[in-house]
Structure 1
Amino acid sequence: MTIGAPHDVSTLHVGGANPYDVVVGRDLSSMVPGVLGDSVQRVALLYAGELGALAQPVADALSEHYDVLALGLPDGEQAKTASVANDCWEALGAAGFTRSDAVVTLGGGATTDLGGFVAASWLRGVRVVHVPTTVLAMVDAAVGGKTGINTGAGKNLVGAFHEPAGVLCDLALLETLPRDELVAGLGEVVKCGFIADPEILAIVESTEPEALTPRSPELRELVERAIRVKIDVVVDDLKETGGQDGHPGREVLNYGHTMAHAIERATDYRVRHGEAVAIGCVFVAELTRLAQGLEDALVERHASAFSRVGLPVGFAGATFDELREAMAVDKKTRGSQLRFLVLEELAVPRVLAGPSEEHLKAAYEAMVARA
């Protein structure tokens, strides 16, 4: 099946054992069947329930070639539960989905995580194509093959690695995104500037925040740069087994996430993921200043870069003990020892294992003071 691509698209290739492309452009719905291919008969379109109008063009493009099962999901993190996953499995079974059939997701990071997990687990793995509708999903959840659901103990503790057949980042879909959701997605983008691509920080620091719109070349470049950062990391370390020469490998993408996930859990996910990541990155920069002498200027650059785009850099909504308990079940924890991704210097990430309780509490107090 050959379908022409829209004009002005960027194709970012993800190599490895199961290569695929991430396409960035506008009005990409017509490309979905071409990514799925001819061997598929049935397609389950899993979409965030509030996005029915956005899902319709994709459903129409698919229905010209396949039998389409459209499944609306709860919004946000409420979709990422075992109950919702089970409902999807039951629907696939009732519709007779086989190993040669496929899943397409349309929505934000939660939809991508849940839909990817359903695809990974149904018959031990069927094809999945992601059509992310938020900045966060474009630069983070849709790329790299991580899927997952939440449990009462924490976020993303159940999941599987399952690489997509393709990812279509349609920037036109961002035009219906509320401004605060677009800004929240920039948390993961700015994070990529600190861990790997300082040019991202230069763009953020030289661009007026209100100029970062779905049609702006600056936002497109930020999205593409952040995707490239993720591609470079996951190609070398798909399953988070570690990097080379002291580099943490794929774990580096979790910079700021130990505290971020604790904040999300403590607030029952009322704090958006990108907002929590911004706070978590500033927290871990402060922790690294205390534990390893990270330069004051780099710590303050964290706060200024995230706040410039409109993200919070402090949090006072939970006690130290509440957050400390939540961090104890973070995926990077080994035994009873907390592990944090930190910076030795800009774009030089390392792992800090077992920081002292004194330093953790002092970094927490600095986080509260910034709120």
Structure 2
Amino acid sequence: MRVETQRVNLGERSYDIHVGSEILDGVGAVCRDLGLGRNAAVVTNTTVGPLYYDRVAASLTTAGFAPHRIDIPDGEGYKNSEILNGVYDELIRAGLTRDAFIVALGGGVVGDLAGFAAATYLRGVPFVQVPTTLLAQVDSSVGGKTGINHPRGKNLIGAFYQPRGVVIDVDTLATLPEREYLGGMAEVVKYGAVLDQEFFAFLEENAARLLGREREVLVRVIGRSVALKASVVEEDEREAGLRAVLNYGHTLGHAVETLTGYARFLHGEAVAIGMVQAATVAERRGLCSEEDAGRIVALIRTLGLPTELPEFPAAAYREALLRDKKSRDGGLDFVLNRGVGAYAIVRLPDLSEVLEICSIGR
């Protein structure tokens, strides 16, 4: 199967994203072509490591690198300062210097945490993303957002730090649990809902093939998703304006995650719920028709994702929303779909409107 390569053009921070099947064994060659230093720390987790570390390590060794394995626990609840400090400890124990690099082998938690470690260890060492979950492949591995969670909010501590390259092997999705796979689909739907009407229609038409994890359709869908994200990142690397569109569904999604202690919903599931609510607000504000909103909700349901907000008091949602990174002066910048395939970023000075439209606290 052919490999699709997408360039992210950011001047001296530009890099390639390679998407294909059976390309995991090429990680070492990619790193060699990048001219990286001899020592590599491969940060993975206790689930992904037993599945793929040996292949990646062998690839690195064959290419002339000396890999050092660092395992972290699996789960969003471990994307915190304690685990990050443990990664620093291992990097120091291994004696890794500024000419070393980090490989992030795993899902979004591994990528975010390892990327932040790379951004801050010795004031910055290169890193390469090798995402193994659908969510990480289409979203968190691309664009340079790294960080950890804080007990009072998601991703409140972090840095913009671009990888030197991204290697996406769709075959790793074969071992991904069904729930996590479906959770990743939420980010795929996001791209179509606010950036590409034709892509959204393709997802509707090929939902069954996606649910069946067909290689060819996955390469196409992941390739298009990263191309859409790359185009946004190229225009707005540090989320000064346009990049906020990628937060569609995330505003209420992050609130759901925070209120449930990151334990009840996967990130993609929370985003799916947030997209349903965003479509509802968009319809009420006249930005999309009832049919448009219905298409978004229907696709989310077809892909086996949740749509209902968990019940918490309105005051709890208000507090969680006000802690959002897009909150300022008691209001919030809210990303809404304009029809299907376009977007609007609306300033909501009073959160009561969102709470009322989404029937929160009733």
TM-score (norm 2): 0.93
Deviation, 1:293, is 5.1
Q: Do the aligned partners of 1:256 and 1:282 also contact (CA within 8 Å) in 2?
A: yes
2:10 maps to 16
* Residue number among 287, 302, 313 corresponding to 2:281 in the alignment: 287
Q: Which runs of 5+ in 2 are unaligned?
A: none
Q: Does 1:324 align with 2:318?
A: yes
Deviation, 1:358, is 4.1
1:337 maps to 331
Q: What do residues 303-324 of structure 1 show as CA deviations (whole Å, max 9, x unaligned)? A: 1111111111112342322222
Alpha carbons of 1:208 and 1:252: their partners in 2 closer, same or farther (altered >3 Å)? closer
Could you say what secondary structure the match of 1:331 adopts? coil
Q: Do the aligned partners of 1:212 and 1:218 also contact (CA within 8 Å) in 2?
A: no
1:54 maps to 52
Deviation, 1:277, is 0.8
Q: Do the aligned partners of 1:316 and 1:368 also contact (CA within 8 Å) in 2?
A: no
Could you say what secondary structure the match of 1:182 adopts? helix
| C-alpha RMSD of matched pairs (Å) | 1.8
* Residue number among 23, 26, 32 corresponding to 1:31 in the alignment: 26
2:187 maps to 188
2:125 & 2:149 partners in 1: Cα distance?
21
Q: Do the aligned partners of 2:130 and 2:168 also contact (CA within 8 Å) in 1?
A: yes
Alpha carbons of 1:316 and 1:29: their partners in 2 closer, same or farther (altered >3 Å)? closer
Could you say what secondary structure the match of 1:31 adopts? helix
Deviation, 1:357, is 4.2
Deviation, 1:31, is 2.1
2:248 maps to 255
Deviation, 1:210, is 5.7
- Larger deviation: 209-218 or 157-166? 209-218
Deviation, 1:276, is 0.8
Alpha carbons of 1:335 and 1:50: their partners in 2 closer, same or farther (altered >3 Å)? same
2:175 maps to 176
Alignment of 1:300-311 (within 5 A): 300-311=294-305
Could you say what secondary structure the match of 1:338 adopts? strand
Q: Does 1:43 align with 2:36?
A: no
1:246 maps to none
What letter matches 1:111 in structure 2?
V
What letter matches 1:147 in structure 2?
T
Q: What do residues 112-157 of structure 1 show as CA deviations (whole Å, max 9, x unaligned)? A: 1111111111112111111111110000010011101000110001
Q: Do the aligned partners of 1:130 and 1:164 also contact (CA within 8 Å) in 2?
A: yes
Q: Does 1:122 align with 2:121?
A: yes
1:176 & 1:77 partners in 2: Cα distance?
19
What letter matches 1:319 in structure 2?
P
Deviation, 1:200, is 2.4
Deviation, 1:85, is 0.8
Deviation, 1:78, is 2.6
Q: Do the aligned partners of 2:196 and 2:342 also contact (CA within 8 Å) in 1?
A: no
Alpha carbons of 1:293 and 1:33: their partners in 2 closer, same or farther (altered >3 Å)? closer
Alpha carbons of 1:342 and 1:59: their partners in 2 closer, same or farther (altered >3 Å)? same
2:218 & 2:66 partners in 1: Cα distance?
36
Could you say what secondary structure the match of 2:282 adopts? helix
1:4 maps to none
2:259 maps to 266
- Larger deviation: 137-146 or 60-69? 60-69
1:170 & 1:211 partners in 2: Cα distance?
16
Deviation, 1:355, is 5.0
Deviation, 1:251, is 0.7
- Larger deviation: 342-351 or 268-277? 342-351
TM-score (norm 1): 0.91
Could you say what secondary structure the match of 1:219 adopts? helix
Q: Do the aligned partners of 1:291 and 1:355 also contact (CA within 8 Å) in 2?
A: no
Deviation, 1:345, is 3.1
1:149 & 1:319 partners in 2: Cα distance?
27
Q: Do the aligned partners of 1:290 and 1:359 also contact (CA within 8 Å) in 2?
A: no
Q: Do the aligned partners of 1:80 and 1:149 also contact (CA within 8 Å) in 2?
A: yes
1:215 maps to 214
Deviation, 1:53, is 2.3
What letter matches 2:57 in structure 1?
A
Q: Does 1:235 align with 2:229?
A: no
What letter matches 1:266 in structure 2?
L
Q: Which runs of 5+ in 1 are unaligned?
A: 1-6, 243-248
Q: Do the aligned partners of 2:194 and 2:342 also contact (CA within 8 Å) in 1?
A: yes
- Larger deviation: 58-67 or 179-188? 58-67
1:22 & 1:211 partners in 2: Cα distance?
21
Q: Do the aligned partners of 1:212 and 1:219 also contact (CA within 8 Å) in 2?
A: no
Deviation, 1:211, is 5.0
Q: Do the aligned partners of 2:132 and 2:172 also contact (CA within 8 Å) in 1?
A: yes
- Size of the aligned set, in residue pairs, is 356
- Larger deviation: 254-263 or 21-30? 21-30
1:245 maps to none
Quote the sequence identity (%). 36
- Larger deviation: 354-363 or 155-164? 354-363
